[in-house]
Chains A and B, each alone.
Chain A
Amino acid sequence: MSSSDLHDRPALLEAHALAFARNDEPIFGPLDFSLHAAEVVLIEGDNGAGKSTLLRVLSGLLAPTSGEIRLNGEPLTLARLSPQVALLSHQSGLKPELTALENLRFAAGLHGVRKGISPATALAGVGLEGYADVPTRQLSAGQKKRVALARVLLAPVGLWLLDEPYANLDLDGIKLVNRLLENHANRGGAALITSHGAYAYTSGTPRRIPLRPGQRGSGFSPDPLDVGDVNESIAAEAAPAGARAGSTSGSPPETGAGAP
C-alpha cells in the first residue's frame, strides 16, 4: 500500500465540521478529517479534550450537535454504521461471571465472526491461550483489555474505534496492539485510536488528529501538574500551562481556545 493509491480510493470515513456539545457546553470540534482504508489515525488530546466523546459520536452512540459524518461517501445512520464498526471503549463490555471464551462466544454471536478466525484463535491471538476457562472476574486489568481487544479482532468489520487501547497494557501488550493494528491495516481495514500521548502507535508514522477542548469559556486552562505522562512531542511545549491548549502541527486555524 503506497500512499499515492491510498488516497485515490474514496474515504472510508469523513467528518465535516463535526462538533459535539453537551448542555450547550462544547466538548470538541468543529473538526474536519477523513480516514481511508488501510490507515491508522491517532487522535491526540489531553484529558478532557473529548477523545472518547468523538469516538462515541463516530460509533453512532451519540448524535453530533452539528456537522456531518460520511461513511463510504454516504451520510451515516446507525443502521448502516453498526455492521461496519467495532468500538473498544473504557468499559470492557465483558461479563465478570463468564469466562473469557464465553464472553467472546457471545460477542461472536452478537456481531458475527471475521472469516478465518474463531473465539479460541482470537484469544490465542491476544496472548491469552490457556485462559479460556478462567472467569473474567479473575483476570487482571491488562488481561481484560486483551480479551476486549480479542472481541474487536473477532468482529467482521472494517473500521476499528479504539479508545485508549494502550491503557493498562504492559510492553508486550503495547507491541501486541501495534501488531494487531498493522495486520488490520494490511487487511484493508482502518482504525481510529485515541491516546493522551503516553504511548503512541510506533510502526510507521500514523496521521494524527490533534483535539483541543471545545471553546469552553476563556477561563479553561489545564492543570499544570497534569503533564507527568505525555511524550516528548507534547512535553516540549507543555511547560507554560496556557500554551498547552493550542496544539501540534496540522491543526486547523480556527482555534482561539488557548491563545494567550
Chain B
Amino acid sequence: MKPGSTSAACAALARRDLTLVWRRRGDALNPILFALIVVSLFPLALGPEPENLRRIAAGVVFVALLLAGLLALDTLFRSDYEDGSLEQLVLSPHPLSLLLACKIAVHWLTTALPLILIAPLLGELLHIAAPVRWVLPAALLLATPLLSLLGAVCVALTVGMHRSGMLVALLVLPLYVPVLIFGAGACNAAQAGLPFLAPLLWLGAALVLALVLAPLACAAALRISLS
C-alpha cells in the first residue's frame, strides 16, 4: 500500500492533459485563429504602407499573443474544477505545487508554443524589420511562460466563481504590463539598433523567479478556491 512516485504522478497528469488537448483539438486552434485575426486587421485599419506597419509590427504581435494567451487561460482549471478532478489533484499524496507546475507547463506547451511558432509569420504580415525577426521569438519564448505562470495564479484564485473572465483579466493585467514592456521593449530596441539584451535578461530573471514561486502561490490559491 504505497503511493507511486511523484514523477510518475506528474507524467500521468501530463499524459492525461495532452490526451485531452488532442481530443479537443478544435478548441486548441482558437488562440491561433484569434491572434491571426487581430494581426490581419491592423493593415486593414492603418493602410498597407510597409513603413507604418514595420514600426508597430513587434508591438502588435506581442499584444495579439498576450490577448490570445488570456483567452486560453480560462481553460486551465475550469473543466478540472467542474468535473471534480481538481479535488482529486489536491487529495493526491504528491506536492500540489509540482503537479500544478506540470499542468501549467503542458498548458504553455499546447497554447503558447504554437503561437510562438506562428509569430514569425504574423510578423511578416506586418513587414517586420529584419533585426527584429529573431528577437521577437526570443522575447516571446521568455515572456509567454511568465505570462502562463502569472495567469495561472490569478485563474486559481477565481476558479470557484462563475463567469470570472472579466475578473481574471483585471487581476492579470497589472502583472502582464511589465512583461509586455520588457518584451516589446527588447524588440523596439533591436529595431532602433540599440542593445536589446538587458530587457531580455530581465525577462529571464523574472521567469526564473516565477518558475519557483508561482506554482506555490497557485497551490495555495487553489486550496482557498476549493474551500
Interface residues of A (CB under 8 A from B): 59-63, 82-83, 85-87, 89-98, 102, 105-115, 156-158
A108-B1 in contact (CB<8A): no
Residues of B in contact (CB 8 Å), total 31
Which of B1, B8, B19, B227 has its CB near the most chain A CB atoms (within 10 A)? B1
Contact indicator B227/A107 (Cβ below 8 Å): no
Closest CB-CB distance, A4 to chain B, in whole Å?
26
A112 partner, pick from B3, B19, B23, beta carbons under 8 A: B3
Chain A residues positioned under 8 Å from B19 (CB to CB):
97-98, 102
Q: A87-B87, A91-B87 are in contact. Are A108 and B12 (CB under 8 A)?
A: yes
Given contacts A59-B91, A83-B93, 13 further A-B contacts (CB under 8 A): A60-B91, A83-B3, A89-B87, A93-B83, A94-B83, A94-B84, A95-B85, A98-B23, A109-B15, A110-B92, A112-B4, A113-B4, A157-B1
- How distant is the Cα of A87 from the Cα of B94 in the complex, in angstroms? 16
Query: Is the CB–CB distance between B16 and A93 below 8 Å?
Result: no
SS of B interface (majority) = helix
Specify which of A61, A89, A90, A111 lies most central, judged by the most chain B CB atoms within 10 Å of its CB: A111
The residue that A109 contacts in the complex, of B11, B84, B87, B90, with Cβ under 8 A, is: B11
Are A93 and B84 neighbours in the complex by a CB distance under 8 Å?
Answer: yes
Shortest Cβ distance from residue A156 to the other chain B in the assembled complex, whole angstroms = 4
Chain A residues within 8 Å of B227, by CB: 61-63
Q: How far is the CB of B137 from chain A (nearest CB, A)?
A: 32
CB distance from B155 to the nearest CB of A (A): 19
With known contacts A82-B92, A87-B91, A95–B20 Cβ distance under 8 A: yes
Cross-chain contact A156 with B2 (CB below 8 angstroms): yes
Within 8 A of A (CB), among B201-227: 226-227
Contact A107 B91 (CB under 8 A): no
List, in ascending order, chain A residues with CB within 8 A of B71's CB.
none
Closest chain B residue, CB of each to CB of A105: B12
Interface contacts (Cβ under 8 Å), in number, total 93
Q: Is the C-beta of B125 less than 8 angstroms from some C-beta in chain A?
A: no
Most buried by B among A61, A85, A106: A106
Smallest CB gap from A102: residue in B: B19
Q: Is the CB of B13 within 8 A of A92?
A: no
Shortest C-beta distance, B205 to chain A (Å), equals 31
Please state if A89 and B1 are interface contacts (CB–CB under 8 Å). Answer: no
Indicate if B82 sits at the interface (CB-CB under 8 A): yes
B152 to chain A, nearest CB (A): 19
Distance A96 CA – B19 CA, assembled complex (angstroms): 12
Least CB distance from A71 to B in Å reads: 14
What residues of chain A lie closer than 8 Å to B2, measured between beta carbons? Answer: 112, 156
A97–B83 CB distance below 8 A: no
Q: Contacts of A112 on B, CB cut-off 8 Å?
A: 2-4, 93
Cα A157 to Cα B9 in complex, Å, equals 16
Given known A-B contacts A82-B91, A98-B16, A106-B13, A61 and B226 have beta carbons under 8 A apart: yes
Q: Is the CB of B4 within 8 A of A85?
A: no
A sample of 12 inter-chain contacts (CB < 8 A) reads: A60-B91, A83-B3, A93-B87, A94-B85, A97-B20, A97-B23, A97-B24, A106-B16, A108-B12, A109-B4, A111-B88, A115-B1
B89 within 8 A of A: yes
Nearest residue, chain A, Cβ from B11: A109
Q: Separation in Å of the B62 CB from the closest CB of chain A?
A: 33
Nearest Cβ in chain A — how far from B6, in angstroms?
Answer: 10
